[in-house]
């Protein structure tokens, strides 16, 4: 990873961001952290809504924070859940928009175990009409 951020730091930010999850309907807390090419970390958590379909995933919150600051190239993502689950399909496509190659650290927020996958593994043949 560039600019001195370690996978451990990124996963720790995701674990902490998960504590801010607003998930009164599912009870499933998700934290995310993305590292941009300048080495800055942006965090996110899932934000649910009484109109369920309006829910926003943690990964997309973190990415929107980065992009809204002008950071369009991501170098790593961490996602923290109970169980270390992989991002949903929508978030895979959203991540792929801002990186050709990138590791995703799947963090079990309870055990702190981490497994690493590549975006290309999670989303081969991403949608791209450019």
CB of 69 to ligand THU, least distance (A): 21
CB of 40 to ligand THU, least distance (A): 21
Cβ distance to ligand THU smaller for residue 29 or 67: 29
Residues that bind ligand THU (CB under 6 A): 23, 26, 28, 30, 46, 48, 55, 57-59, 87-88, 91
* Long-range pairs of 87-92 with CB within 8 A, sequence gap ≥ 24: 87/57, 87/59, 87/122, 88/57, 89/123, 90/57, 90/60, 91/57, 91/59, 91/60, 92/119, 92/122, 92/123, 92/126
Cβ distance to ligand THU smaller for residue 33 or 57: 57
Cβ distance to ligand THU smaller for residue 4 or 124: 124
Cβ distance to ligand THU smaller for residue 53 or 70: 53
Residue positions annotated with a catalytic role = 59
CB of 30 to ligand THU, least distance (A): 3
Please report how the helices 7-18 and 58-68 are oriented relative to each other, as an axis angle in degrees rounded to 10. 110
CB of 58 to ligand THU, least distance (A): 4
């Amino acid at each position: 990873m560039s600019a001195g951020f370690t996978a451990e730091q990124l996963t720790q930010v995701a674990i902490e961001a998960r504590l801010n999850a607003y998930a009164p309907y599912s009870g499933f807390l998700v934290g995310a952290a993305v590292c941009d090419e300048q080495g800055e970390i942006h965090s996110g958590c899932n934000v649910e809504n009484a109109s369920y379909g309006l829910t926003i995933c943690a990964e997309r919150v973190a990415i929107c924070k980065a992009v809204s600051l002008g950071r369009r190239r991501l170098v790593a993502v961490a996602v923290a859940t109970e169980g270390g689950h992989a991002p949903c399909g929508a978030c895979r496509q959203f991540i792929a928009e801002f990186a050709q190659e990138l590791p995703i650290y799947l963090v079990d927020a309870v055990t702190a175990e981490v497994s690493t996958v590549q975006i290309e593994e999670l989303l081969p043949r991403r949608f791209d009409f450019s």
